[in-house]
Amino acid sequence: MKKPVLAVLALVVCALSVAAQPRPAAPPPPPGRVLAVKAGRLVDPDAGTAASNQTILVQDGRITAVGGNVSIPPGAEVLDLSRSTVLPGLVDAHTHLALTIIPERDAGKWFYSMVNDSTPYRAVEAAGNAFTMLQSGFTLVRDLGNNGMYADTALRQAIEAGWIPGPTVINAGIIIGGYGGQMHETPEREGLLYPEYIHADSNAEIIEAVHRNVHYGAKVIKVLVDESADHAPYTVDQLKLFVAEAVNAGRKVAGHVHSDQAARRAAEAGLWSIEHGGTSSDETLQLMKTKGIWRVGTDVPLTAYHGTQRGFDRAVDRLKAAYRIGVRSCFSTDVDYYIPGMTRGEAVMNFLITWKAAGIPAKDILKAMTTYGYQVSEVEKERGPIKVGLAADMIAVDGDPLSDIDTLRKVTFVMKDGKVFKKDNVVAPAAFYK
Ligand SMILES: [Zn+2]
């Protein structure tokens, strides 16, 4: 039976390919209206400087001119931010938008979502979290797993397709790990954690897991290098296999790291970024610096609702050490919980507490929240910096974030892909639904 069916299919394919003659190109759409952003001050976080009275022209989602002597074309819509400081959008380099620990339900246990919440529910939840991240000025996130069955891919695609406003998403799909993933299962409940993780112990499983994630829309590969003492970390050779397979697919590898031993293995294998790594020694940080490996530390602050003094002291100590040694650390949070009365974006912004406690100057914190975020996401040639030709993502605040980083807590204006999302401190996303 199969051969005749195949023959018919082949005929259909041939007929389709014959029918698919090149059509005359459709006329390009007329250029959209020019937006002119008048910035009282315009910050360049990479240089750590600001220029006064700058004009940024935006058309069809892209920046077409920036400078002090840019003339505004007739008919342009003027956005007067002459009393504000304009700067590029912010980045959370480690988040989980389709995971939310609900305090009264989950007792702080993140894995309850796996049991209680369907992937479609988590995708909608992610849309809500993405909205508030943009509201707080985050125009780009790396979303690193724990998102059900690829709710992160759905989120990325929905934002790219224009269904909903949200940050640009660099997503990891499903986290790949050795037996047990991040769970501590009982033998009676074996497999409870799947499909929240992809189980990959052998080399063949590692290769297949990378291919599977790429196929289902992952832009970065997330590997659980280790978790705790009852999980054997991947070996350097296994991690090198991850890197080789990812490189072959044009992807980088982000490694979730718990112990210093795992951090060292990740660094030796040449992973792109080390996530968490809260116990990394000075020697390992030095190796990361030498090899140019990103530190995505998710440096947890101590607040009334989250964190411990011990954890906070350690986070501050390691962030300070990384800064002293010269490892490039990205602003990153791992926030995956709901705090009554706060948006996800506001909870994320509280990670400034750790960065300030580590004594890092405001201009360097800002660099970690912008320049480094674009670079670890590998988008800096398309979006991030406020430069001609790049996507028009920008925010505005009152005051000077180069000297007072807490000015970022009140983002009054947000533009994403040339569309105004927030203006005069009010969210008004109508432009995203046209
Ligand atoms: Zn995480």
Query: For ligand 1, a single-atom ion, which residues have Cβ within 5 Å?
Result: 334
Q: Sheet harboring 77-88: ordered strands across? A: 62-67, 49-59, 35-44, 77-88, 394-397, 411-416, 419-423, 426-427
Q: For 90-376, CATH number?
A: 3.20.20.140
pLDDT tens track of the chain, all 434 residues?
344 444 444 444 444 444 455 566 777 778 899 999 999 999 999 999 999 999 999 999 999 999 999 999 999 999 999 999 999 999 999 999 999 999 889 988 888 888 899 999 999 999 999 999 999 999 999 999 999 999 999 999 999 999 999 999 999 999 999 987 888 778 888 888 888 999 999 999 999 999 999 999 999 999 999 987 667 889 999 999 999 999 999 999 999 999 999 999 999 999 999 999 999 999 999 999 999 999 999 999 999 999 999 999 999 999 999 999 999 999 999 999 999 999 999 999 999 999 999 999 999 999 999 999 999 999 999 999 999 999 999 999 999 999 999 999 999 999 999 999 999 999 999 999 98
Amino acid 89 reads G
- Residue 253 CA to ligand 1 center (angstroms) comes to 14
CB 193 within 8 A of CB 111: yes
Verify cis geometry, omega within 30 degrees of 0, for the bond prior to 195: yes
Q: Read off the pTM.
A: 0.93
- Nearest one of 208, 290, 275, 282 to 242, comparing CA atoms: 208
d(CA 276, CA 225): 11
Domain ranges across the chain: 35-89+386-433, 90-376
How many Cα atoms occupy the beta-carbon half-sphere of 169 within 13 Å?
36
Helix, strand or coil, per DSSP, at residue 43: strand
How many Cα atoms occupy the beta-carbon half-sphere of 74 within 13 Å?
0
* Tokens standing for residue 164: 């909903």
d(CA 234, CA 278): 18
- Residue 307 CA to ligand 1 center (angstroms) comes to 15
- Residue 144 CA to ligand 1 center (angstroms) comes to 6
At the topology level, CATH places domain 35-89+386-433 in Urease, subunit C; domain 1 (2.30.40)
- Residue 298 CA to ligand 1 center (angstroms) comes to 8
- Residue 332 CA to ligand 1 center (angstroms) comes to 9
- Residue 418 CA to ligand 1 center (angstroms) comes to 30
- Residue 75 CA to ligand 1 center (angstroms) comes to 46
- Residue 68 CA to ligand 1 center (angstroms) comes to 42
- Residue 413 CA to ligand 1 center (angstroms) comes to 28
- Residue 93 CA to ligand 1 center (angstroms) comes to 10
- Residue 223 CA to ligand 1 center (angstroms) comes to 11
- Residue 373 CA to ligand 1 center (angstroms) comes to 16
